[in-house]
Amino acid sequence: MQDQCATAELPAIRLHDLRHGCVSVLLALGVPPRTVMNILGHSTLEMTMTVYGHASRDDKRGALGQLGGLLMRGTRKNAQGRSHATGPVRFPCSSMCARRDSNP
């Protein structure tokens, strides 16, 4: 592998590094984690996701963008472009939690 990298004028990488990259690409393509686990020959999903599954910067930004969208649902921009609350933010579990709390 080192010889091929040198011939292609690429930085030297280990074959095992490609395994990590393969998992990241498969997960980014939307391949189900259990399928990726089977491709790698792992016996547990935890091994695949903990050791090999790396969250990309885009994944992190997307998740935080979704969180921001949820938190901004109950807001509106004023004339100066500042957000202000228009009502309480309702989280997906709000009704479930309210039902649970109302049962004595």
User: How high is the pLDDT of residue 77?
Assistant: 65
User: How high is the pLDDT of residue 70?
Assistant: 79
pLDDT above 70: residue 87: no
Residue pair 52/39 in contact (Cβ under 8 Å)? The answer is: no
CA atoms within 13 A on the CB side of 69: 6
32-82 pLDDT, tens per residue? 999 999 998 989 998 888 887 767 777 788 888 888 887 777 666 666 666
Query: What is d(CA 73, CA 9) in angstroms, rounded to the nearest whole number?
Result: 51
Average pLDDT, the chain: 76
14-27 pLDDT, tens per residue? 888 888 888 888 98
Angle between helices 33-40 and 15-28 (to 10 degrees): 160
Higher pLDDT pick, 34 / 97: 34
The string of DSSP letters for the chain reads -HHHHHHTT-----HHHHHHHHHHHHHHTT--HHHHHHHHT-S-HHHIIIII----HHHHHHHHHHHHHHHHTTEEE-TTS-EEESS----TTHHHHHHHHH--
pLDDT above 60: residue 100: no
